[in-house]
């Protein structure tokens, strides 16, 4: 599910042939999420120089706060959406943090993450802003997708696997967990090709996901991705992490639209888990833009 600012900024004036299929996909995801009634959404997102700067930029950062303002102060005017305060889940986030440490990752952590389009745009469409703030908690996991050097796609996949392992061994009161991955697909941010969309690249990514060939995504270098689909496509890391955290799943593509108003290829993909535990948990993941 795309998170480029323009999706929200220009939603009202977006051409119907582009907005309608996205609106239908987002509405479906929102309905399915409501039916699943998760206690928490583990959200793979990325900072856009709002939480961090080059004074110190973490590769991975776990959001351990007890609540999250979505969007950050001032983001409401730019993104044209109301600010809402979602709950965090410090107990689960703290467990994920410790579990990742035990598994050989060394993520940063923060109780004061600032969310711009990365989390705000998906949540705007999954939870309509005119409805009461949902009770679901958010555990954000940020990955550096913008300030090179970036963690490799394979490292991001390994992180997603480790997050799943953490969820599976959570010793606290069981949670129903949904997974959200948001970033990409093609777009160029602050670059000469700003405004371009490589729909062929985007459809190739979706094809690989649908055919269960995510391994091929992991072999792409940042230079290759950026040359074909812009620096914004480097956010595919969030998708890869979500896929890994899901474990076994059946991908269900809901929409793909090259949205010129948002200067981004926008996709929405649901991931239906293959229930191997018998518990009946169902997770939801989305791939998206910017
Ligand atoms: Fe982004």
Please report the DSSP string for the chain in residue order: ----HHHHHTTTTS-HHHHHHHHHHHHHHHHHHHHH--SEEEEEE---SSS-BTTB--SEEEE--SEEEES-TTHHHHHTS--EEEE--HHHHHHHHHHHHHTT---EEES----SHHHHHHHHHHS-TTSPPP--EEEEEEE--SSSSPPPHHHHHHHHHHHHHHHHT--SS---EEEEE---SS--SSSTTTT---HHHHHHHHHHHHTT-HHHHHT--HHHHHHHH-GGGGGHHHHHHHHHHH-SEEEEEEEEEEEGGGTEEEEEEEEEE---SSS-----------
Residue 18 CA to ligand 1 centre (angstroms): 20
Q: How far apart are CA 172 and CA 91, in angstroms?
A: 8
The interaxial angle of helices 236-246 and 153-168, nearest 10 deg, is 40
Distance (angstroms) between ligand 1 centre and the Cα of 159 equals 19
State in Å: Cα 167 to ligand 1 middle: 26
| Centroid of ligand 1 to alpha carbon of 280 (angstroms) | 33
Distance 116 CA to ligand 1 centre (A): 9
Cα of 118 vs centre of ligand 1, distance in Å, is 5
Rounded distance from Cα 120 to ligand 1 centre (Å): 11
Sign of dihedral through CA atoms 101, 283, 138, 213?
positive
Q: What is the Å distance from ligand 1's center to 235 Cα?
A: 7
In whole angstroms, how far apart are CA 65 and each of 61, 62, 240, 277? 12, 9, 24, 30
pLDDT number for residue 276: 56
- Each residue's pLDDT, cut to its tens digit, for the chain (290 residues) gives 889 999 999 999 999 999 999 999 999 999 999 999 999 999 999 999 999 999 999 999 999 999 999 999 999 999 999 999 999 999 999 999 999 999 999 999 999 999 999 999 999 999 999 988 999 999 999 999 999 999 999 999 999 999 999 999 999 999 999 999 999 999 999 999 999 999 999 999 999 999 999 999 999 999 999 999 999 999 999 999 999 999 999 999 999 999 999 999 999 999 999 865 544 444 444 444 43
Residue 48 Cα to ligand 1 middle (Å):
7
Residue 200 to residue 65: CA distance in whole angstroms: 39
Phi and psi for 8 in degrees, rounded to 5?
-85, -45
Cα of 147 to ligand 1 centre, how many Å? 12
Ligand 1 centroid from CA 182, angstroms: 8
- Domain locations in the chain as residue ranges: 5-273
Say which residue the tokens 């599910």 belong to.
1
Question: Tell me, what's the pLDDT at 2?
Answer: 83
Just give the CATH number of 5-273.
Answer: 3.40.830.10
CA of 15 to the centre of ligand 1 (A): 22
Q: How far is the centre of ligand 1, averaged over its atoms, from the C-alpha of 273 (Å)?
A: 26
81 CA distance to ligand 1 middle (Å): 17
The CA distance from 267 to 230, in Å, is: 16
Output the CA 290–ligand 1 centroid distance in Å: 3
288 Cα to the center of ligand 1, angstroms: 9
Q: How far is CA 95 from the centre of its chain?
A: 20
Residue 47 CA, ligand 1 centroid: distance in Å: 8
């Amino acid at each position: 599910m795309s998170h480029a600012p323009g999706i929200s900024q220009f939603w009202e004036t977006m051409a119907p042939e582009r907005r309608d299929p996205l609106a239908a996909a987002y509405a479906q995801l929102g309905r399915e999420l409501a039916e699943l009634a998760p206690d928490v959404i583990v959200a793979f997102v990325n900072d856009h120089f709002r939480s961090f700067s080059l004074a110190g930029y973490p590769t991975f950062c776990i959001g351990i706060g007890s609540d999250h303002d979505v969007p950050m102060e001032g983001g409401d005017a730019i993104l044209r959406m109301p600010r809402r305060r979602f709950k965090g889940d410090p107990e689960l986030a703290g467990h994920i943090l410790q579990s990742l440490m035990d598994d050989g990752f060394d993520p940063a952590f923060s109780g004061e993450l600032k969310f711009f389009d990365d989390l705000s745009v998906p949540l705007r469409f999954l939870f309509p802003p005119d409805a009461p703030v949902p009770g679901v908690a958010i555990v954000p996991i940020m990955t550096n997708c913008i300030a090179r050097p970036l963690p490799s796609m394979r490292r991001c996949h390994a992180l997603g696997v480790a997050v799943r392992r953490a969820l599976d061994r959570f010793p606290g009161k069981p949670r129903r967990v949904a997974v959200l991955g948001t970033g990409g697909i093609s777009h160029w941010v602050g670059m000469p090709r700003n405004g371009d969309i490589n729909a062929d690249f985007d459809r190739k990514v979706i094809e690989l996901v649908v055919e269960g060939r995510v391994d091929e995504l992991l072999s792409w270098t940042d230079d290759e991705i950026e040359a074909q689909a812009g620096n914004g496509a480097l956010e595919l890391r969030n998708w890869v992490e979500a896929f890994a955290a899901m474990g076994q799943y059946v991908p269900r593509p809901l929409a793909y639209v090259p949205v010129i108003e948002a200067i981004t290829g926008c996709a929405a993909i649901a991931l239906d888990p293959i229930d191997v535990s018998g518990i009946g948990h169902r997770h939801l993941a989305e791939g998206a833009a910017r």
